[in-house]
Copies of this chain bind each other. A is one copy, B any other.
């Protein structure tokens, strides 16, 4: 299962998941001034970051929205970025948060697990229930994986996710967690973790205990570190019985050079930011 491979990477390198949510404003002028399309510049920016960090990070996450925003040129940069990360032997999570009925989810599975946009794992939104998840099952046996949204780190995540359910008073996100654990059970790898993981934000650390209890075999994608307020100490507390997830940081890492350099050494700043994040978490483990 992909989670076995990912956990191996995490143990060898770190639990840092570097988010390539790249925007044109992040690009140093030595790339920006080249005679390239915006998408080509973004790919060049990403490529150099991957070269400078692939020995350090457990995986990469690419936020497709930043690429869709640039139309076809952006989608080319997206495809090139995924391909480059995979060519380095690193794992890439496509943060696409797709969610649709079976026949449509089948198309998304083809789109994101094969061809130009092939990723190792993708994020999925299961508001539509298991139909939105089951079409990916056949790919899980082929070293592909999912992270289903359970508890998100944004402010209005509580609008629905925290509403309590009649039967037993459990909030929606716990119901979601139970379902994700159940769906994932048949796809448990040798590491004890399922190929169906969960996105669980860092903003509300108290809720982590419940999540860990409900889904002990679910690997976690944890957003919210750095720019969104989570600390290394928070994470270490979730990992006290062993590492059970990867921790994403995007802006906090890929804009580390802003205001400091506009040259080729921008990747030194990004690399240092990864090292700092790694240490910030590992010092508490």
Q: Which residues of A contact B (CB under 8 A)?
A: 21, 23, 63, 65-66, 68-76, 79, 97-102, 104-105, 107-108, 110-112, 115-117, 125-132, 149, 152-161, 163-167, 169, 172, 175-176, 179
Q: List 7 A-B contacts (CB under 8 A).
A: A65-B100, A65-B107, A68-B117, A129-B155, A129-B156, A129-B158, A160-B179
Q: Which residue of B lies closest to A101 (CB)?
A: B154
How far, in whole Å, are A61 and B253 apart by their CA atoms in the complex? 39
Q: In the complex this chain forms, how many copies of it are found? A: 2
In contact, B107 and A127 (Cβ under 8 angstroms): no
Q: Known contacts being A127-B125, A128-B157, is A69 close to B99, with CB within 8 Å?
A: no
In contact, A154 and B129 (Cβ under 8 angstroms): yes
Q: Which residues of B contact A157 (CB under 8 A)?
A: 128-129, 131
The one of B105, B155, B175 that contacts A131, using a Cβ cutoff of 8 Å? B155
In contact, A115 and B164 (Cβ under 8 angstroms): no
Q: Which residues of B contact A66 (CB under 8 A)?
A: 104, 107
Q: Which residue of B lies closest to A159 (CB)?
A: B129
In contact, A72 and B172 (Cβ under 8 angstroms): no
Q: Which residues of B contact A156 (CB under 8 A)?
A: 128-132
Going nearest first, the 5 A-B pairs with the smallest beta carbon separation are A129-B156, A71-B116, A129-B159, A164-B166, A68-B111
